[in-house]
Amino acid sequence: ATGGRFDRWSQYIDVLLDSYFIGVGWGQHQQYIESEFSLHNSLLQATVELGIIGAIVLILIWLLVARRGLQLSMDRQYSYAIYLTAFLSATVANSMFHNNLNFRTFWMTLGLIGALEIDHWEYYNKSGREYLEDN
């Protein structure tokens, strides 16, 4: 049982086709088919609400943060970044059947990887030579 997800997804395709470029507006997707249920798919919801542009931005955020988390995990000082990246990957995979855009843990994980990035730059920019030698 899919809980009606596939039926809602097929109805939202019609909404997407009507407003595919800029979407219908954040939080407005339920009004277009008069449903009290959400899509339970973060990417599809972002595409319907924000259009193709919003979906591309969301995918880029996912990919860039995951890429940077993996890069940071290669540094001995930030080796634990792999756990954050793994959690982020699991959350993105889970978002295909749940709306994770409203999950605090998703945004906290993005923020933690961003904080590691800031710390990384501050650490290596104290001595530009160290940064150039390591990269």
pTM: 0.69
Q: Give me the amino acid identity at 132.
A: L
C-beta of residue 23 within 8 angstroms of C-beta of residue 58: no
Cα separations in angstroms, 87 against 34, 78, 82, 107: 34, 15, 9, 11
Nearest to 81 by CA among 71, 98, 65, 69: 69
Residues 6 or more apart whose CB falls under 8 angstroms from that of 22 comprise 50, 51, 53
Tell me the pLDDT of the chain (135 aa) as tens digits: 566 677 777 777 777 777 778 877 777 767 776 666 677 777 888 888 888 888 898 889 888 888 888 888 888 777 888 888 888 888 888 777 777 666 777 788 878 888 888 887 777 776 555 555 665
